[in-house]
Amino acid sequence: MYIAEHEVRAVLTYEALIPAIRQGLIDYSAGRVQQPPRMVLRAGDVEGSHDGWFAVMPVVAGDVMGVKTVTFFPANAGLGLHTHMAVIELLSRSTGEPLAVMDGRLITEMRTAAVSAVALDALTATGEQSPRSLGILGSGVQARSHIQALRIVRPGLKDIRIWSRNPANAESLAAEVGARAVSIEEAAAADVVLTATASPHPVLQGRWLAPHALVLAVGAVGPQLRELDDRAMLGAWVVAESRDGVEREAGDVVLSGASVQAEIGDLLAMPSESVVPHGSRVVFKSVGMAIEDLVAARLVWQAHTAYKASNP
């Protein structure tokens, strides 16, 4: 069974994905997931944006197994192509039987935003203290998907501010989602700040951040790449999607020397014992994990199978 991207889009929703991702992160931190480090290979010896990489991400959890192959070619943006492309194979854990092969580009997009939504829900207050403003650095696919996902867990995020190196892109996205295109300083002064750029050098300066800000750092994956400067990292309480993953693959952590204080899965598993210093600055850093792809792929397979059964 092959499930194309338009079929993934028809059945995968944030309402189902966010709680599934939450449980997947808990299972990962509890040691119930077999997930080796992803293998990353450079596509060639070309320097700069025309180079790309190819990664393989296997995982075993629950009743299924899976592997995602994903590529990132930044120069594709200038060719009218997606910069990220992926394929996911889902298999039965009990028999090894292939259950489905599906396009993984949209899954990668949505699960990344869902992880941030889970973190936002866990790391910010509700009610009167709930965050009201969201600043976004970047105007691409992840900016758009995060707006959708974050609004589900915090519908009070009414003041959305978008900054981009390309002002026209910021204006276009702002008009589409009911936001404002602003300066980088105004975006960075929001209650919640999302960094979703491909910048290899820091774009977010700590001096712009509010003392209570939550930073969701999802871009710049690679030990030599970073979006946040030292002041932003060293002045914050750092929560990782995966301690091992960010200490190996996140330049924001590696190059700043910041210490990871907790994994999000541990905080989710024991909310009543949370040690998050509410009212202080927090950085949540994610680099993406195979368990997130597996959780999403299983949802897609189940929903697609049910749809086919009811519409022969």
Where residue 271 sits, what CATH number does that domain have?
3.40.50.720
Contact criterion met (CB below 8 Å) for 283 and 256: no
Beta bridge mates, 71: 54, 85
Give pLDDT tens digits for 23-62: 999 999 999 999 999 998 888 765 555 678 899 999 999 9
- Helix, strand, or coil here: 59? strand
How far is Cα 211 from Cα 157, in angstroms, rounded to an integer?
18
Residues 62 and 203 grouped into a single domain:
no
In a domain, 118, yes or no: no
Are 271 and 303 within one domain? no
**9 and 30 fall within a common domain:** yes
Residue 208 lies in a domain: yes
Q: What is the pLDDT along the chain (312 residues), one digit of tens a residue?
A: 899 999 999 999 999 999 999 999 999 999 999 999 999 888 876 555 567 889 999 999 999 999 999 998 888 888 888 888 999 999 999 999 999 999 999 999 999 999 999 999 999 987 778 999 999 999 999 999 999 999 999 999 999 999 999 999 999 999 999 999 999 999 999 999 999 998 889 999 999 999 999 999 999 888 989 999 999 999 999 999 999 999 999 999 999 999 999 999 999 998 876 788 878 999 999 999 999 999 999 999 999 999 788 887
For residues 176 and 228, state if they share a domain.
yes
Please tell me whether residues 60 and 133 are part of one structural domain.
no
> 135 and 280: one domain?
yes
Question: In this structure, is residue 147 part of a structural domain?
Answer: yes
In a domain, 120, yes or no: no
Q: Is residue 114 part of a domain?
A: no
Q: DSSP string spanning 68-121?
A: EEEEE-GGGGGGTS-SEEEEEEEEETTT--EEEEEE-HHHHHHHHHHHHHHHHH
Residue 122 within a domain: no
The answer to whether residue 174 is domain-embedded is yes
Q: Do 54 and 153 belong to one domain? A: no
Range of the domain at 168: 127-288
Task: Report the DSSP pairing between strands 282-285 and 2-3.
Answer: unpaired
| Domain identity same for 188 and 160 | yes
Specify if 222 maps to a domain. yes
Q: What are phi and psi of 295, to 5 degrees?
A: -60, -45
pTM of the model: 0.94
Structure tokens, 221: 């994956």
Same domain, 156 and 296: no
- Same domain for 99 and 195, yes or no, is no
| Domain co-membership, 35 together with 92 | yes
Q: In what order do the strands lie in the sheet with 53-61?
A: 2-3, 98-103, 84-92, 64-72, 53-61, 39-42
Q: How many domains does the chain have?
A: 2
CA–CA distance, 302 with 293 (Å, rounded to integer): 14
How crowded is residue 263: how many other Cβ atoms within 10 Å of its Cβ? 21
CATH code (residue 59): 3.30.1780.10
Same domain flag for 132 and 84: no
Buried (b) or exposed (e) across 273-301, using 16+ Cβ within 10 A?
eeebeeeebbbbbbbbbbbbbbbbbbbbb
